[in-house]
Amino acid sequence: MKRISIIFLFFSLFVFSQHSKPELLEKINSITKGKKATIAVSVLGIENDFQFSNANGNLKMPMMSVFKFHIALAVLNQVDRGNLALDQKILVKKSDLLENTWSPIREKYPDGNVELPLSEIITYTVAQSDNNGCDILLRLIGGVKTVQKLMDVNGVKNFQVKYNEEEMAKKGVQAPYANYTTTASMVKTLKAFYIGMFLSKRSTAFLMEIMTKTNTGMTKLPGLLPKVRMARKTGSSGKMKNGLTIAENDSGIVTLGSGKHYAIAVFVKNSMETEEVNCGMIAQISKVVWDTLNKK
C-alpha cells in the first residue's frame, strides 16, 4: 500500500509539473508582453524536482545588490572555517563610510570609528543592502576573487563577480554588467544554500533568518502575496539620466502553505519602463508562481 502511495505521489508531481509549466509560461508572457525590458524568470522546487524558466532563464543578467547574497556565503564560509567569528568586532573607520551611496551603517554611525560585530555588518549588508557594509566584508575576505572562487569550487555556473560597490560606482554605466548571473543559476544556488551545500547548519540558519528580514524592494516578490515566510535578496540600479534601468531584481526562497519551499528569481534588465512597472511585473510574476505552486 505504501509503495502504491509513493508511486501515486510521484506520478501526481510529474503530471502537475507537466501541466502547470505551459500555463505558467503563458501567464508570465502575458505580464511581460509589450514591455520595453528584458525579463528573466526561473523557479526551482526545494523538496521536489519542479523547475521552470522562461526564454531568458539562461541569459546573463546584471546582479546589482543580489551579489551581496553570494558575498555573505563567502564570509560565512570563512566563519565555518574558523577564520572569522560572528561576534568578532570589526573596526569601521570613517573612511570606510563613503558618501553618495546607499548606507544605513553610515546613517547610524556618520563619524565612523566604531567597532561592530561581524554579524551586524552582514545583517546591514544583506537585509538592508548596505553598499559600504558590502565593501567592508569584501576587504575582510580578500575581495571579489574569494567570492568567485567559492562559487567556482561549488560548481556554480554562469556567475561572475568582478567589481565591488565602490568600483561599480567609479567605472560607470557598463560596470554592473560585469557582475552577472542567470536566473536559472540563481535559483540553483539558492537551493544549494538552503539544503546546506555551502555552509554549516548554523550559518545556513543565520543567513536564512537575515534574508527573511530583508526590507528592500517590498513591492517586488512579496508585493502581491499573502503574508508568507520569504527569504530574499534584492538588487536595483535605479534609473539612469536617459531613463534606462539597468536592473531591477528580486530573488529568494518562499515557503508554501504546505510547508514546502521553492526558489524564485525574477530579474529585469535594460528597462525603459518606470520603477512602478518594473516592480509591478516582478510582483505579478511572483503571484502567478505562488498561485500555481500553492495548488493542492
> Out of 65, 185, 203, 271, which one is annotated catalytic?
65
Please report, for the domain that includes residue 136, its CATH number.
3.40.710.10
The CA–CA distances, whole Å, from 133 to 106, 130, 224 equal 9, 5, 30
95 tagged catalytic: no
Q: Summarize pLDDT for 91-111 with one digit per residue, the tens.
A: 999 999 999 999 999 999 999
Q: Is 254 left (phi over 0), alpha (psi -120 to 50) or beta?
A: beta
| Structural domain for 189, as ranges | 24-293
Residue segments in the chain with a per-residue pLDDT below the cut of 50:
1-18
List 231's β-bridge partners, or say none.
253
Whether 18 maps to a domain, the answer reads no
pLDDT tens string 212-264: 999 999 999 999 999 999 999 999 999 998 999 999 999 999 999 999 999 99
Residue 9 lies in a domain: no
Helix (H, G, I), strand (E, B) or coil at 106: helix
Catalytic residue among 42, 103, 129, 165: 165
The domain total for the chain is 1
Q: Confirm whether 8 is domain-assigned.
A: no
List, in order, residues 6 or more apart from 273 with CB less than 8 Å away: 35, 36, 37, 245, 281
In a domain, residue 107? The reply is yes
- Residue 20 bears catalytic tag: no
Would 3 be classed as within a structural domain?
no
Structure confidence at residue 172 (pLDDT): 87
| pTM of full prediction above 0.75 | yes
Question: Positive or negative CA dihedral for 282, 247, 236, 49?
Answer: positive
pLDDT for the residue numbered 2 = 39
For cell 512597472, the residue is: 277
